[in-house]
Amino acid sequence: DWSMSDFVSEAKSAIKEMVGHRVVIGAVSGGVDSTVAAVLMKEAVGDQFHGFLVDNGVMRKNEAVEVMDRLANRCGVNLQLVDASEKFLDRLTGVSEPEKKRKIIGNTFIECFEKEASKLNADFLLQGTLYPDVIESISHKGPSATIKTHHNVGGLPDHMKLKLIEPLRFLFKDEVRALGLELGIERESIFRHPFPGPGLAIRILGDITTKRLKILQEADSIFLHELRVHNLYNEIGQAFAVLLPVKAVGVMGDKRTYEEVITLRAVKTSDYMTADWFDLPTPMLRKTSARIVNEVPGVNRVTYDITSKPPGTIEWE
Ligand code: XMP
């Protein structure tokens, strides 16, 4: 007899009771979990929830603007865009080691979030943690079955003394999607492919420069557009373009070119621990390849990654 609408009303009243008139902050990425958590929080406490979208400069083409439009304009979430792209890109310049990129992005993110969040005098931090992430720490029980509280949130300084709110902590991914639909969030937001926190930084192999970032954003945007147009997006677990650290010789008119190489990745997977490369239809690949080499200056070759996981990983870094 358990239904998602019961879950929503129980979660809302538990959150309201816990928060009272105080302030809740949270980082929002635009992914499924943070989107659903933010909309639930807005439903429960309105503008007492204050979300931050940190633009780290390595998001997909137009992503920051689109997330703001979806969540702030259409869902009414009190969401502030923090444009830290220059700071991130400065620190990423010349870095090619994958784990170094991840560390720089993680640390810079916390720094930017804390700087903005500390202006607000908040008592609570919202996190979109799911059940699989917290199975080990289940012994902690908060005021209701849907909320856990504790102090000293990892990564943020102790002086902020934030209590954690994790309204999704007893849900699996498919339940989070059902909750999102129950909250009226549009399907396109709910059925998005996952996107890694370090963003395009781990898909630009070799030097990260603004020029190479722009190339990857354009190629990736064309690929995802073609997947949607061909009704393939929802059959795929994750799809994206990667910019390789090699150049290839090509020919354009009567001129020889020497330019960047893009590889396309699309996988079918149930849990992202293992994955099969997706057998994309040849006409779709043909169209995507032609569009990328014609429309993205600086690219003269497109390849398709036909490696499963294992032995490959989904990402290239
Ligand atoms: P791999 O490449 O390990 O990826 O097969 C499995 C899933 O994890 C995502 N991924 C990340 N997500 N931070 C994230 O938030 C990361 O550093 C990271 N690395 C990989 C990847 O996109 C895929 O969904």
Q: What single string gives the DSSP state of each residue in 178-231?
A: HHHHHTT--HHHHTPPP--TTGGGGGB-S---HHHHHHHHHHHHHHHHHHHHTT
Tell whether ligand 1 has an atom less than 6 A from the beta carbon of residue 106.
no
Which amino acid does the sequence have at 245? P
Complex-level ipTM beyond the 0.90 threshold: yes
> Is residue 302 marked as binding?
no
Q: Is the CB of 57 under 6 A from ligand 1?
A: no
- Whole-number Å distance, alpha carbon 273 to ligand 1 midpoint, is 10
Distance separating alpha carbons of residues 181 and 179, to the nearest angstrom: 5
pLDDT value for 158 = 66
98 lines ligand 1 (CB under 6 A): no
* Contacts of residue 237, Cβ cutoff 8 Å, sequence gap at least 6: 193, 267, 268, 269, 270, 272, 275
Ligand 1 proximity of 238 Cβ (cutoff 6 Å)? yes
Per DSSP (E only), the strands in 56-207 are: 79-83, 124-126, 163-165
User: What pLDDT is attached to residue 2?
Assistant: 72
275-286 burial string, b = 16+ CB within 10 Å, else e?
bebbebeeebbe
DSSP state at residue 30: S
Q: At what angle do helices 173-182 and 32-45 cross, to 10 degrees?
A: 40
As a whole number, the mean pLDDT across the chain is: 93
Length of the chain: 317
Our answer on whether the CB atom of 133 is closer than 6 Å to any ligand 1 atom is no
Q: What is the pTM of this model?
A: 0.92
pLDDT for the residue numbered 138: 47
Which of ligand 1's atoms lies nearest the C-alpha of 197?
15
Residue 34 annotated in ligand binding? yes
Tell me the CA–centroid distance for residue 44 and ligand 1, in Å. 31
Given CA atoms 282, 283, 284, 286 in this order, what sign does their dihedral have? Answer: positive
Check if 196 has its Cβ closer than 6 Å to any atom of ligand 1: yes
**Ligand 1 in contact with 268 (CB < 6 A)?**
no
pLDDT of the residue at 157: 63
pLDDT of res. 161: 82
Going from the Cα of 45 to the center of ligand 1, the distance in angstroms, rounded, reads 32
Is position 32 annotated in a ligand binding site? yes
- The one-digit pLDDT tens for each residue of the chain (317 residues) are 579 999 999 999 999 999 999 999 999 999 999 999 999 999 999 999 999 999 999 999 999 999 999 999 999 999 999 999 999 999 999 999 999 999 999 999 999 999 999 999 999 999 999 998 876 454 444 444 444 444 334 456 666 789 999 999 999 999 999 999 999 999 999 999 999 999 999 999 999 999 999 999 999 999 999 999 999 999 999 999 999 999 999 999 999 999 999 999 999 999 999 999 999 999 999 999 999 999 999 999 999 999 999 999 999 99
